[in-house]
Amino acid sequence: MREVKLPAMLKQLVDEGEYRGNRRWVSTQLGITPAALSQYINGQTNPSLEKLLAMIELFDVSLDFLVFGPDTIGQHANAEAEAVTASIQADIATHSALVGKVGEILAQQIDAATRSVAKRPSTLSNMLDQKQALELERYSEDSTIVTMDLTDDIVEVDSEQEVTAGDFLTVVAQNLAQGRTYHFVLSPEMEDHDTLIQRYRTLLLDQHLSEADLRNCRFSIGLDSFYVGCCLFRLDVDGLKRHSPVLHRYLESFITHDNYIGYIEPPSSPLRAYFLLDADRMQVATRVLERLAPPSSSSS
């Protein structure tokens, strides 16, 4: 099976070709944010079929070149390459046909939900993908986030250390604007906590928040090392059920009687998947959190 080189090829086309230094322009042409483009280049997320097609049109390259690199042009023009290309084309055709049929039969709301689900990578039972985790956090009234880094929130745009807000930071800003609260517990292994916290606060202010809003977002440094990230949310269950009923049905058995839910992120997760906590493990996570960051340890 050939090696997928999409991140490396995308970086070469964006940073070393005629578009060098114009990531923002490229992002605009692809209909994505600079943060999303950086995540594609860093291999943190994968583009949808729609965005792959936009890329090959913008850069005027073949799908085979974009996904597998230049060494496949002459050396691998064989049955394997044809099968992979045919499979991708079949997926695109199937997806388009499905969307058309659903649009004819179902209401607009269900059609939109179907297309959204169809674009997500599959995950195992009792897990969340990144889009589901983002959607869940939108309904958190009080969030505790234990993290080893903030790369999903603060995304580097270029080599000059320019940064922009990632998808998760945008949700944090939306929740803070509604008077909701956040507590970030940072790993003691992270470098230069003060600079990182200040950078995070600056990006929040860029989201049109006030200093008063930021008082609901505090940071602590863990009193001991940890190697697994964890999120605990107190949910607006009624809002989740009303506005995201499919996700609510999936998560219903994991929501505690007092409306809490939690998940962990392994230190290395190529699926970008998050593991949901049952009631017993929620209690364990809460006790561990109390040891890592008791109220007196808050730094800001």
Contact indicator for 261, 235 with CB cutoff of 8 Å: yes
**The 3-state secondary structure of 20-40, one letter per residue:** CCCHHHHHHHHCCCHHHHHHH
Residues 124-143 have a mean pLDDT of 90
Dist CA 166 CA 40 (whole Å): 13
Both structure tokens of 3 = 């090696």
Nearest to 137 by CA among 182, 99, 92: 182
Residues 91-97 have a mean pLDDT of 75
For residue range 143-169, list pLDDT tens digits in order.
999 998 888 888 877 655 678 888 999
Evaluate if residue 268 carries a pLDDT over 50. Answer: yes
**Most confident range, picked from 45-54, 65-74, 247-256:** 247-256
Model pLDDT, residue 34:
84
DSSP assignment letter at 297:
G
Model pLDDT, residue 63:
85
Mean pLDDT for the chain?
Answer: 83
CA dihedral 205, 237, 240, 121 (to 10 degrees): 90
Question: What share of the chain in percent tops pLDDT 90?
Answer: 36
Evaluate if residue 296 carries a pLDDT over 80. Answer: no
Model pLDDT, residue 122:
47
Model pLDDT, residue 261:
97
**Contact partners, residue 149, CB within 8 Å, separation at least 6:** 187, 190
DSSP assignment letter at 298:
B
**Most confident range, picked from 14-28, 99-113, 150-164:** 14-28
Q: Which residue reads 């002459």 in tokens?
A: 74
Lowest average pLDDT, out of 66-70, 109-113, 265-269, goes to 109-113
Model pLDDT, residue 119:
55
Both structure tokens of 108 = 């607009």
Evaluate if residue 70 carries a pLDDT over 70. Answer: yes
Question: What share of the chain in percent tops pLDDT 70?
Answer: 81
Dist CA 295 CA 31 (whole Å): 43
Dist CA 98 CA 104 (whole Å): 10
In three-state secondary structure terms, 146 is: strand
